[in-house]
Amino acid sequence: MTVGAGTPVPAAAETPPVGTTAADAADDPAIWVDPANSSRGVIIGTDKKSGLYVYDLAGRQTQYVAGGLPNNVDLRGGFPTPAGPRVLVAASDRGRPGAGAALFLLDPATLKLDFWAAIPVDLAEPYGLCMADRAGTFLVIVNGTDGQVRQLKVSAGADGRPQVVEERRFSVPTQPEGCVADEAANRLYLGEEGAGIWRFDLGPVATPGQLFARAPSAELVPDVEGLALLRDGPATWLIASSQGDSAFAVYRVDGPEPEYRGRFSVVAANGVDAVTGTDGVAALGGAVGAFPEGLIVMQDDVDEGPPGARQNFKLVDWREVKRALGL
């Protein structure tokens, strides 16, 4: 697959390839930064054939947690547990019997990730996943290949075990995957792979959604894959993977209606190869390690290197996207 037709943006860094080779393996990343020290943090990425990888903010691997078949991953900090606040990490999982999602806890002091529990989700095939912290209520939102979506409330009991309650359920017509929550605006964005991007309320009651960006179109070429939000001052930006042409569509979404602002593709630079056929994407605004205004991390379908098909994650400086698109 060739580099997409979006405005060129240089790659800044990359992770090592995931351990599974000669297969579609790397899928989705998530980013966490210590609120007290922007140089401390992690990038977590899925190898959907084997487990989760943990990287530092420069893309160097620091940990591998084997187990399950994790597809999408997301996280939220400040999760209350009997041992103190932790970063709650969740991944959709098709590999643990009777489960639909796997939960992990990241210790913010050590940056060590530990498996916590597998939880059942009433879906035929769990696929996409995102999280939200709605005023202290932690939500895990899981979707399935048949279009069904489940929104779950997760907390830690006094015994340290997870307590899970289904809050609502809804659906889209065909297969979704990527999703991302905007807690500040009480919105949930969900990608329907062959149709476009939906916007829903994030509240506990299911309400009709709005399909505001359609695919195929000049903005999105199916599959519509990962979705990420980045806050930059007063602006909130939605970044969507346009997998069919290896590009990313960018929307400003802090106003009453989403505003399309352009497309970009990640090209080879700084000793890093270009991004092609991308799947999952994550973003975080503000200072993130060496990136003073924000970081974007995305899956690369074909990581160039030694013989043998392999996949990894690329890092992009948000300033380069703003410069390229005139944001």
The DSSP 8-state label assigned to residue 43 in this structure reads E
Per-residue confidence (pLDDT) for residue 308, from 0 to 100: 66
Q: How far apart are CA 90 and CA 70, in angstroms?
A: 9
Inter-residue contact 221 to 227 (CB < 8 Å): no
Backbone phi and psi for residue 6, each to the nearest 5 degrees, phi listed first: -70, 170
Q: How far apart are CA 186 and CA 207, in angstroms?
A: 12
| pLDDT in single tens digits along all 327 residues of the chain | 455 689 999 999 999 999 998 889 999 999 999 999 999 999 999 999 999 999 999 999 999 999 999 999 999 999 999 999 999 999 999 999 888 999 999 999 999 999 999 999 999 999 999 999 999 999 999 999 999 999 999 999 999 999 999 999 999 999 999 999 999 999 999 999 999 999 999 999 989 999 999 999 999 999 999 999 999 999 999 999 999 999 999 999 999 999 999 999 999 999 999 999 999 999 999 999 999 999 999 999 999 877 667 999 999 999 999 999 999
Per-residue confidence (pLDDT) for residue 97, from 0 to 100: 85
Of 116, 71, 59, 76, the C-alpha closest to 95 is 71
Please give the CATH topology (third level) of the domain spanning 7-325: Neuraminidase (2.120.10)
**Three-class secondary structure of residue 151 per DSSP:** strand
Q: CA angle, 76 as apex, 82 and 313 as ends, to 5°?
A: 130
Q: Which two tokens stand for residue 44?
A: 């977590």
Per-residue confidence (pLDDT) for residue 23, from 0 to 100: 87
